[in-house]
Amino acid sequence: MLHSSIDRAAHATPPVLTRRIRGLSDRAIAWIFVAPSIVLLLAINIFPLIWTVRLSFTNFRVNRPNEAVQFVGLRNYLNILSDKDIWLTMQATAHFLIWTIVLQVLIGFALAYLINKKFRGNDLWTTIIVLPMMLSPAVVGNFWTFLYQPQIGLFNYAVGFLTGADPSSFSMIGDTTLAPWAIIIVDTWMWTPFVMLICLAGLRSIPSSIYEAAECDRASSWRQFWTITIPMVLPFLMLAILFRGIENFKMFDLVVQLTGGGPGSITELTSINLKREAFEKWRTGYASAYAVILFVTVFGLASIYVKALNKVKQR
């Protein structure tokens, strides 16, 4: 049936078209198949990127359609790089990025190591542990604001219970010293399972024969851990760090929901600051330059990191 349908379709194709298609090389046919994807990519990725770079050299404001757009050269870039407030948001981002990665890698690897052991209820625990990463960041941000609420929040109550402090005597998201840690705790709670899953994949990819050989050589568990487990999981771990690093450099939703960048500007990460410039102050040209700087930073750092990752893999 199928065969006859194809035959019918083939017979129905005009002879002129048939001759033309027959005349195409394999390379040309491949291009025909790939072309729609390339056009789509150009339209929704490359063109906006080029347009953003172009806008970054102008004083364009999207809310002023009647104003003439002027070319301002590198002024936007110079203003951004010399703006003290922007460097403060960079510092806030770096603090958030470094601590979330450190905590997520340590806890994620430890959890993966434990889950990798065979015990009863292993699957159930795995499911429970990965639940946070399945939730929407907006939902997580919202319910953690309740957990952090000084008067009724469970988090404050737990801290009060354990330390004897008055739960309403501190505000995790209202205090300048605690707020940066408040967002780190929530991100770690949410994304540690992701790191754990990647580490678990790494641990399960290690052939048991290697451990058996090590045991024959009377290697201690500690030595097996440092000379077999860590080196073989390292590429996976580095991949997890890359993913989390890129994601947290762009972190927006969770922090906006939790602190809105406050108190003051203590937790105002670069993405929040960029959004304020672009869609609250409507400085489109300036915000474009800001976005280009962030893009180059992430792209540059990620490229260096990927090269290092490849070297580790080759070892």
Partner 1 sequence: MMKQMLLSSTVVIGAYFAVSGAAGTQASAAELTLCWAAWDPANALVELSKDFEAKSGNTMKFEFVPWPNFADRMLNELNSGGKLCDLMIGDSQWIGGAAENGQYIKLNDFFDKEGIKMADFIPATVIGYAEWPKNSPNYWALPAFGDVVGWTYRKDWFSRPELQAEFKQKYGRDLAVPKTFAELKDIAEFFQKRQIDGKTVYGAAIYTERGSEGITMGVMDVLYSFGFEYGNPKKAYELDGFVNSADAVKGLEFYKALYDCCTPPGHSDAYMSEDIDAYKSGQVALQMNFAFTWPGIHADANVGGDKSGYFPNPAGPTGVQFAQLGGQGISVVAASDKQKEALDYIKWFAQPEIQKKWWALGGYSALRSVVEDPGFATSQPYAQTFLDSMAIVKDFWAEPSYASLLQASQKRFHDYVVANQGTAKDALDGLSEDWKDIFEDEGKY
The verdict on 163 binding partner 1 (CB under 8 A) reads: no
The verdict on 64 binding partner 1 (CB under 8 A) reads: yes
Size of the site for partner 1 (CB under 8 A): 32
Shortest distance (Å) from residue 9 CB to partner 1: 44
Shortest distance (Å) from residue 90 CB to partner 1: 16
The C-alpha R_g of the chain, in whole angstroms, comes to 27
CA–CA dist 116, 168 (Å, integer): 40
Single-letter residue type at 264: G
Shortest distance (Å) from residue 266 CB to partner 1: 6
Specify the DSSP element, H or E, that contains 63: none
Measured from the CB atom, is 184 or 240 closer to partner 1?
184
Measured from the CB atom, is 103 or 256 closer to partner 1?
256
Measured from the CB atom, is 24 or 62 closer to partner 1?
62
Q: Return the structure tokens found at 50.
A: 């080029």
Residue 160: CB atoms within 10 A of its CB come to 17
Task: Mark the segment that binds partner 1 (CB under 8 A) among 6-14, 43-51, 242-250, 259-267.
Answer: 259-267
The verdict on 160 binding partner 1 (CB under 8 A) reads: no
Helix (H, G, I), strand (E, B) or coil at 71: strand
Shortest distance (Å) from residue 159 CB to partner 1: 14
Task: Mark the segment that binds partner 1 (CB under 8 A) among 32-40, 145-153, 198-206, 300-308.
Answer: 145-153
Q: Decide: 118 and 204 in contact? Cβ < 8 Å.
A: no
Q: Out of 52, 116, 126, 168, which residue is the one contacting partner 1 (CB under 8 A)?
A: 168
Task: Mark the segment that binds partner 1 (CB under 8 A) among 39-47, 170-178, 185-193, 304-312.
Answer: 170-178
Strands (E), the chain: none
Task: Mark the segment that binds partner 1 (CB under 8 A) among 8-16, 202-210, 228-236, 261-269.
Answer: 261-269
Site string for partner 1, 79-108 (x = CB under 8 A): ------x-----------------------
Closest CA to 278 of 73, 79, 63: 63
Contacts of 152 (CB under 8 A, 6+ apart): 146
The verdict on 260 binding partner 1 (CB under 8 A) reads: yes
- Dihedral angle at the C-alpha atoms of 169, 170, 176, 178, nearest 10 degrees? 150
- Dihedral angle at the C-alpha atoms of 112, 117, 120, 123, nearest 10 degrees? 30
3 to 62, contacts with partner 1 by CB under 8 A?
62
Q: Out of 52, 116, 126, 171, which residue is the one contacting partner 1 (CB under 8 A)?
A: 171
Helix (H, G, I), strand (E, B) or coil at 207: coil
Q: Residue 226 has what DSSP assignment? A: I
Residue numbers at the binding site for partner 1 (CB under 8 A): 62-66, 85, 148-151, 168-169, 171, 173-176, 256, 259-266, 276, 279-283
